[in-house]
Each structure stands twice: as C-alpha cells, then as structure tokens.
Amino acid sequence: MARSTGEALGRPTDVELTRRILDATIELLAEHGYPGLRIEHVAKLAGCGKNAVYRRFADKAELAAEALRSHGEIGEMPDHGNVADDLLEHVLQNQANQVRASNGETPVGNNGWRVAFEPEVFPIIWERFFTHRRDQGIELILRGAARGELPADVDADLILDTFAGLTLFRQSIKGVSITPEQYRAMIAAVLASPPRRGDPI
C-alpha cells in the first residue's frame, strides 16, 4: 500500500508541526515579549513557511494566546462532596498558575502575565482558558447550592472574583504567599455569609 506523500518525504505531521510552531512562539515570547514577536521569526525557528503558521492562526495575537493556553493547567473538576473543599482545591489551582507566572516558572518566564494581558491577546485567552476555569468554579458553587450548602441565589461570580482578586493582588503584586489554612479561613467566612445576586451595593 502506498504511503502518503508527507510520510514518504519524512515531513512532520500536522500535529507535530503545530507543536513546533507553538514551542517556537513560547521561546520567542520569553526572549522578546509580545511586541517583539514576528510571524516570520516563528516560522524560521519552527522550520516552516509563514503560510503554515497563518493556516493555523489568524494573527500573532491568536498565536500568542494559543501558545500560552497550550502550557496552562485547567486542572481537574473538584468533587469532594462539599463546597468548601471543592472551592479550596479550585483556588489552590488558581494560585499555582499565578505563582508559576509570577516567579517566571512558565515557559515564557516573567513575560507570561504581560503577554496574557496584552489587549489583543487577553480576549482570546479569556475565551479559551480562563472561561473554562471560571465555568468549573461556577459549577462547583451551584452544585453546593443544589445540596443546600448555599442559597439558591448565591452570587457565584462574585465569590470567584473575590478569591481571584485576592490571589492576584497578594501573590503577584505584594509578593506575599497565601497558605491553604488562610484560604480555608477566607472560604469559611465567605460561605458563612455568601453574597447574593441583587444585593445592594
């Protein structure tokens, strides 16, 4: 049986080439940041033509966002049977992601946050990564409401923002670590008097 032309010539598969393009993007983002990212440089480092990059990604914003997303960790959906433990696991995963970005432990080093918050990049990575994390958080809070642990009109979005903001400000801006015990105390306080949708400001 005749093999495909790609196999006969020893060319990389589509998946392999996409991985090389994303890895090249990560390497160049780490070295030059988003402003210095050029499609032609990515193509050269990945060993392909610019058209191969553009067939996969519409522009450099989508390329950068997908490169970051491919190295992110969404994490497993917690299911401990109670909302406090589920929420703790969720926020600890957020913390781990933020610590890696703040400490330069991501493949793009300290450029991780800067790239993610570029105006062109953020809407894409929000849709492809952060919304999945947010959906997990909302699901586990609403699951707790269904079990009667929280009121039916609990403001799940505000609870998630509270912990995301706490982690971002304290870990990434102040550089102060948050212990699991501190998170657990904060979770207990929030769950004892949870915000509700429609609460007056």
Which residues, at least 6 apart from 83, have a Cβ–Cβ distance to it below 8 Å?
Answer: 140, 141, 143, 144, 147, 149, 150, 191
pLDDT of residue 3: 34
At 131 the pLDDT is 94
Record the pTM: 0.75
Q: Report how far residue 64's alpha carbon sits from residue 57's, in angstroms, rounded to the nearest whole number.
A: 9
Residue 7: pLDDT band with limits 50, 70, 90: very low
**Token pair in block for residue 9:** 């010539």
Residue 105 has pLDDT above 60, yes or no: no
Provide the pLDDT for residue 68.
87
Residue 118 has, within 13 A of its CA and on its CB side, a CA count of 22
- Element at 188 (helix H, strand E): helix 180-192
What pLDDT shows up at residue 4? 35
* Tokens coding 176: 């102060």
Q: How many other C-beta atoms are found inside a 10 Å radius of the C-beta of residue 157?
A: 14
Residues 72-83, mean pLDDT to the nearest whole number: 89
User: Per-residue pLDDT averaged across 178-185, rounded?
Assistant: 97
d(CA 26, CA 42) in angstroms, rounded, equals: 9
CATH numbers and ranges of domains, the chain: 12-70 (1.10.10.60), 83-192 (1.10.357)
Give me the phi and psi of 154, to 5 degrees please. Answer: -60, 140
Residues contacting 111, CB < 8 A, separation 6+: 29, 30, 33, 34
User: Which one-letter amino acid corresponds to residue 6?
Assistant: G
Identify the residue with better confidence: 201 or 140.
Answer: 140
